[in-house]
Amino acid sequence: MRPPHLRGTEKHMATKLFVGNLPHSTTDAGLSEFVTNAGFQVASAVVIRDKMTGSPRGFGFVELGEGEDVQRAIAGLNGQALDGRPLTVNDARAPRNDLSRPRCGGGGGRYNSRRRRED
């Protein structure tokens, strides 16, 4: 059985595409228009932006319209160029909620890395 926070994501993820290698000038509307012009019905499209700076991160998600074949869309869009950049298109996966791994900073270095010279 899936954990409660992931229940119901199977159907939602089945119609959602990950689109990578987007030009940083791409907007939500531009991504939607690109997929629509390729012959697919789009329910929504979003370009992911950095939370702090608001600048695009170079990838986004497209939710296809009802009845669209995800595998056909992947085959039709993967490798297609948008503003000269070949896109990477895959099935979108559910967000990672790996609670078993602690989110700690990296180690590295020693506590007292400089040795004091004793005279």
Percent of the chain with pLDDT over 70: 70
pLDDT, greater one: 7 or 74:
74
Of 14-23, 47-56, 71-80, 107-116, the range with the lowest mean pLDDT is: 107-116
Which uninterrupted H or E stretch holds 4?
none
Q: Where are the domains of the chain?
A: 12-91
Amino acid at 77: L
- Give the separation between CA 48 and CA 61, rounded to whole angstroms: 8
Strand pairing partners for 79?
none
pLDDT band at 97, cuts 50/70/90?
Answer: confident
The answer to whether residue 109 scores a pLDDT higher than 50 is yes
CATH architecture of 12-91: 2-Layer Sandwich (3.30)
CA–CA distance, 28 with 54 (Å, rounded to integer): 13
pTM score, whole prediction: 0.70
For the segment 18-41, what is each residue's pLDDT rounded down to a tens digit? 999 999 999 999 999 999 999 999
List 45's β-bridge partners, or say none.
Answer: 62
Identify the sign of the CA torsion 29, 32, 35, 39: negative
User: From the CA atom positions of the chain, what is the Rg in Å?
Assistant: 21
